[in-house]
């Protein structure tokens, strides 16, 4: 009993040290450190080793990654998109929301010395008002960050416009979830042949920029495009792209359940064989294939995470460090502590970032990961519970 009380006292003491009021050094937003832009392929510093990454997660004193949604507008209605799939089925139009000037200014002040700034969100970034100028300002606010833009690519055409965008970014990812007929069916409103023309032009222009280091395709695997997994890798390699990233479909709604192949044994085996075929077309220094953490072994990751919270283990060890090191801002100015839409901890139209980052709601998410009792949406997170069907069903049916 005395040992348990001492453990509780140590955990409570740790909470008081870690979660202090705004301005505390452990949760501060550091001032930007000016560095020259680097080619991350050849001149960038060596990546941190695992011990250094764990130290970052424990300290919680530096934000390393920011995801920004500049607009809710989009020219497509993709069935796998958390915003687009409901519009695809309902026929409704997407709200034309953009990140306000006030929220954007407060966001710039928060970027500091981050490692990665990703521009994506629920809309199509190329529809954001004056995107090239906003990219310049983001670059100025965080000059050493790797600036990544994710787009559906359908609007990125014309040499002059492509140059305006590539001049400001270090990496470009194009969402192309299929080829030919599967692309047209999934990326509703897009035409694959037209996209391919754009991608060929982008690949030519990208070669002219020494700082630009990654041109890749994002491919979400689902029932309609399983047959095209390996063919897609060959097509994008041949037009001059650097790589392809395969991801599992995130099922956030009952309507997407049928598109997921997670619990379809036949399609899972088909997908694995297709990925193996895709990997065979990878070439050193020319084309890479990424499929990390795709369909992991049943329950192993979840069991590994749970055992870390047994008595005697450090309460800080967690499978997820995002609430300490990352945040997202959507087109409405909401600050999210995770990629799950409902993990809102505040809004930049109402408060400056530092107050949001240290608010009670943010602390609850962190406490949940530390004490092994996940808060709200963490309870059904596919990172913490990647292979447990109960959590999968709860997420679909919005049971939290």
pLDDT digits (tens, 9 = 90+) for 237-258: 999 999 999 998 877 667 777 8
Cβ–Cβ under 8 Å, residues 35 and 69: no
pLDDT-based confidence at 21, cuts 50/70/90? Answer: very low
Q: 343-387: per-residue pLDDT in tens?
A: 899 999 999 999 999 999 998 988 888 787 788 877 777 666 655
**Which tokens is 306 given?**
């749970």
DSSP 53-107: HHHHHHH-----EEEE--BS--S-EETTSTTHHHHHHH-PPPP--B--HHHHHHH
> In the prediction, which pLDDT does 128 show?
96
Checking if the pLDDT of 178 tops 90, the result is yes
* Most confident region among 43-52, 318-327, 329-338 by mean pLDDT: 329-338
Least confident piece of the model among 20-29, 178-187, 268-277:
20-29
Cα gap 33→112, rounded to integer Å: 7
Q: Which residue has the tokens 């460090």?
A: 321
pTM of the model: 0.78
What was the pLDDT predicted at 56?
A: 36
Measure the CA–CA gap between 299 and 262, rounded to whole angstroms. 13
Nearest Cα residue to 335 out of 326, 325, 345: 345
pLDDT at 170: 97
| Average pLDDT over all residues of the chain | 77
Nearest of 118, 139, 137, 129 to residue 71 by alpha carbon: 129
pLDDT (0 to 100) of residue 379:
76
pLDDT per residue over 280-306, tens digit each?
Answer: 999 988 999 998 766 654 333 334 333
Q: Model confidence over 123-172: pLDDT tens digits? A: 999 999 999 999 999 999 999 999 999 999 999 999 999 999 999 999 99
Main-chain dihedrals φ then ψ at residue 141, nearest 5 degrees:
-70, -30
- Please report which confidence band the pLDDT of residue 84 belongs to, taking 50, 70 and 90 as the band edges: low
Q: Is 267 helix (H, G, I), strand (E, B) or coil?
A: helix
With 0-12 / 13-18 / 19 or more C-beta atoms within 10 angstroms meaning exposed / middle / buried, residue 182 is buried
Structural tokens at position 307 = 């055992």
CA distance 104 to 110: 10
Where residue 186 falls among pLDDT bands split at 50, 70, 90? Answer: very high
């Amino acid at each position: 009993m005395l040992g348990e009380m001492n453990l509780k006292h140590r955990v409570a003491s740790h909470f008081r040290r870690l979660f202090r009021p705004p301005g505390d050094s452990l949760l501060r937003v550091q001032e930007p450190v000016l560095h020259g832009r680097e080619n991350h392929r050849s001149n960038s510093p060596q990546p941190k080793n695992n011990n250094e990454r764990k130290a970052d997660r424990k300290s919680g004193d530096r934000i390393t990654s920011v995801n920004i949604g500049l607009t809710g507008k989009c020219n497509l209605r993709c069935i796998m998109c958390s915003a687009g799939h409901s519009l695809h089925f309902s026929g409704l139009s997407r709200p034309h929301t953009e990140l306000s000037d006030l929220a954007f200014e407060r966001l710039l002040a928060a970027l500091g010395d981050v490692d990665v700034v990703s521009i994506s969100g629920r809309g199509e970034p190329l529809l954001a008002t004056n995107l090239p100028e906003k990219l310049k300002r983001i670059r100025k606010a965080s000059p050493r960050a790797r600036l990544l833009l994710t787009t559906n690519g359908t609007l990125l055409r014309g040499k002059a416009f492509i140059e305006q965008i590539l001049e400001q970014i270090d990496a470009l990812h194009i969402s192309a979830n299929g080829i030919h007929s599967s692309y047209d069916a999934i990326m509703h409103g897009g035409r694959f042949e037209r996209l391919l023309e754009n991608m060929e032009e982008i690949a030519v222009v990208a070669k002219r920029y020494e700082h630009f280091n990654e041109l890749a395709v994002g491919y979400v695997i689902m029932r309609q495009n399983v047959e095209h997994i390996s063919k897609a890798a060959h097509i994008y390699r041949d037009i001059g792209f650097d790589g392809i990233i395969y991801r599992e479909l995130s099922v956030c709604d009952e309507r997407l359940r049928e598109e997921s192949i997670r619990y379809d044994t036949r399609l899972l085996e088909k997908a694995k064989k297709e990925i193996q075929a895709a990997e065979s077309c990878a070439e050193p220094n020319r084309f890479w294939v990424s499929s990390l953490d795709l369909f992991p072994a049943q329950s192993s990751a979840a069991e590994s995470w749970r055992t870390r919270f047994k008595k005697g283990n450090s309460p800080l060890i967690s499978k997820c460090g995002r609430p300490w090191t990352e945040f997202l801002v959507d087109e409405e100015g909401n600050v999210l502590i995770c990629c799950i839409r409902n993990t809102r901890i505040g809004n930049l139209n109402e408060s400056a970032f530092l107050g949001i980052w240290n608010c009670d709601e943010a602390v609850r998410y962190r406490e949940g990961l530390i004490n092994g009792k996940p808060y709200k949406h963490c309870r059904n997170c596919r990172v913490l519970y990647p292979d447990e069907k109960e959590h999968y069903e709860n997420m679909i049916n919005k049971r939290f």
